[in-house]
Structure 1
Amino acid sequence: MFNLSAIQMVSGSDPKENLAQLKKLLAALSPASGQLVLLPENALCIANKGSYLALSEHLGDGYYQGQLSALAKHYQCYLVCGSFPIKSTIADKIFTTCLVFSPLGELISYYHKIHLFDAQVPDKTGLYKESDAFVPGQEVKLFDFDGGKDSVKVGLTICYDLRFPGLFQTLRSRGAAVLLVPAAFTQTTGQAHWLPLLQARAIENQCYIIAANQGGEHQGGRQTYGHSMIISPWGEVLKQLKYGEGSIQSSFEKSSLEKIRLAMPILAHNRFTYTNLIN
């Protein structure tokens, strides 16, 4: 039995202030050794292209990645930063990248967001166009979550990826038992689609889902939906935090997951496969 947890934030544009707040939230959560802790998308900065470019670091090297590494090592937990700006080979474009730090503080996996959110939303922000700042990733990524006696594979996604079931089915086909969804889902789209999409991805893939969202009103008037949650492979909402900052946690029960998969072997029954250029 493993511990799964999510931290919900209302991040601003100042990464140092966000880091200080993250440290307070981690202290309040006080994760157990080996616990999986997911942070939301844009955990250390939610702003604009200029701010992301200024904050960006080379993968595996930089002040803020060092801070995240130190926090993982201090709490001896798996700390997953939902997204952080990572430099690309294009001068004015970066990746938005999920970073996974082990209990030893090592960067053991990363995932560049594949699906970029370019959409018109009827809210104060209006047009969201991530492709102005970011380069889409090209690789599906998982990592091994070691609980001591057992280990399971964890699949990585970010926010808008949630609307693309092929990615989640690919992660399941590669052995995922837990799927991570860090997000900055808007208030408008979140109210309409967040819960049904999360439950669908959990049910159709028979996986636990940890979804860590931004949860409130940000500088400049941007509004995010919150409702961070942990969902069982049967689609049950095990824990949920509606708005504001805080954390949730629940247990992963491998025997429960295996029972559900044995009773209804969806993976074996699936007559469709997704093939594209993604590795």
Structure 2
Amino acid sequence: MVYNLAAIQMVSVSSPEINLSCIKKLLEKLSPVANQLVLLPENALSFSDKSGYLSLAENLGEGYYQTQLGLLAKQHQCYLVCGSFPIKIRQSAKIFSTSLVFSPQGKLISHYHKIHLFDALLSDQKGRYKESDTFMAGDEIQLFDYQMGSESVKVGLAICYDLRFPALFQMLRAKGADIILLPAAFTKVTGAGHWFPLLQARAIENQCYIIAANQGGLHPCGRETYGHSVIISPWGELLSQLELGEGVVQASFDKQFLERIRLQMPVTSHNRFSNSLVK
């Protein structure tokens, strides 16, 4: 059996260099098969604060760390998706939180600016989360073509808090997604309550594979993330998961299984609400 889907779980720190070394180590541990789809978590290169993200930010498609990620994709001959990376915005003091997709040739082939920003009050050590102080929301849905041998599969992109907005996932499915990626830094509090129910719901209702790479543990800044990175089938099965700490999960994409589920229960053709009403 060929495992062509993978998620890497990290416990990122503020230092990009330390995190980059961790990514290299975990990629070596994974030893991806040719063209494997590998997802890193949100804030993979830096789990920091506003000043840290602003200092790390690069122009899209340029800069040292984007170059390093491209080189890793080329070295391991995989599709490497950096869950989120701070990208500069012209004439703005804010930045985007952006997923970056690198091909096995090391080229940046797609990107997605996080649409839904996490502004919330939680009963944890941090308490108040306000991503909108640092980031600007994106406004475009994004997919890319993932080449598996002679077959091309459409992959939809989302980030963390996006998980709570089913219309985004419905639109990705409507645009042809067979796989949807969800890099995250879900907190321990919200993860314990909502991580699996939301992920399984998005997989089942859209009949897609979900790859979810989460941050997983206690970070030096004192924040705790839930971990439990997982790959979920279109039937809602947990194919592979990791509770806490650094590590990898992987599973196989089965196109015939996906098509059979969609044929047996054609929910998209049964949907009485048009896409225009689900925006």
Q: Same fold (TM over 0.5)?
A: yes
Match of residue 100 from structure 2: 99
Residue 275 of structure 1, CA deviation: 3.3
Q: Judge conservation of contact 2:3–2:250 (CA < 8 Å) in 1.
A: no
1:147-166 matches, cutoff 5 A: 147-166=148-167
Secondary structure of the residue that 1:191 maps to in structure 2?
A: helix
The 2-side partners of 1:105 and 1:22 are apart by: 16
Which residue of structure 1 aligns with residue 201 of structure 2? Answer: 200
Instruction: Specify the alignment match of 1:31 in structure 2.
Output: 32
Q: What is the aligned-residue RMSD (CA, Å)?
A: 1.2
SS for the counterpart of 2:216 is: coil
Whether contact under 8 Å (2:3, 2:33) holds in the other structure is no
Give the equivalent residue in structure 1 for 2:74. Answer: 73
2:4 corresponds to which residue? 3
Distance apart, 1:277 and its partner CA: 11
Match of 1:144 in 2: 145
- Aligned partner of residue 240 in structure 2, secondary structure: strand
Please say if residues 2 and 147 of structure 1, whose CA atoms lie closer than 8 Å, have aligned partners that are also in contact. Answer: no
- 1:173 lines up with 2:139 in the alignment: no
Maintained 8 Å contact 1:36/1:77: yes
Q: Could you list the per-position Cα deviations for residues 104-156 of structure 1 after superposition, in whole angstroms to 9, with x for gaps in the alignment?
A: 00100000000000000110010000000000001000000000121110000
* Counterpart Cα distance in 2 of 1:137 and 1:44: 20
The alignment partner of 2:33 has SS state of coil
SS of the residue aligned with 1:43? Answer: coil
Partners of 1:89 and 1:64 in 2: CA distance: 19
Separation in structure 2 between the aligned mates of residue 259 and residue 146 of structure 1, nearest angstrom? 21
| Partner of residue 212, structure 2 | 211
Give distance in 2, aligned partners of 1:90 and 1:194: 36
- The amino acid of 2:69's aligned partner reads L
- Report percent identity of matched pairs: 65
| Runs of 4+ residues over 2 Å off in structure 1 | 273-278
Q: CA-to-partner distance for each residue in 1:151-198, whole Å, 9 max, x for gaps?
A: 110000000000000000000000000000000000000000000000
Amino acid at match of 2:140: E
Deviations 1:226-247 (A, max 9, x none): 0000000000000000000000
Work out the CA distance in 2 between the residues paired with 1:134 and 1:273: 31
What is the number of equivalent residue pairs in this alignment? 278
Q: Which amino acid aligns with 1:109?
A: S
Q: Distance in 2 between matches of 1:211 and 1:125?
A: 23
Aligned position for 1:121: 122
Structure 1 position 92, deviation (Å): 1.7
Question: CA shift at 1:276, angstroms?
Answer: 7.9
Q: What TM-score, normalized to structure 2? A: 0.98
Do 1:206 and 1:261's aligned partners in 2 also have CA atoms closer than 8 Å?
Answer: yes
> Are 2:33 and 1:50 equivalent residues in the alignment?
no
Unpaired runs of 5+ residues, structure 2, are none
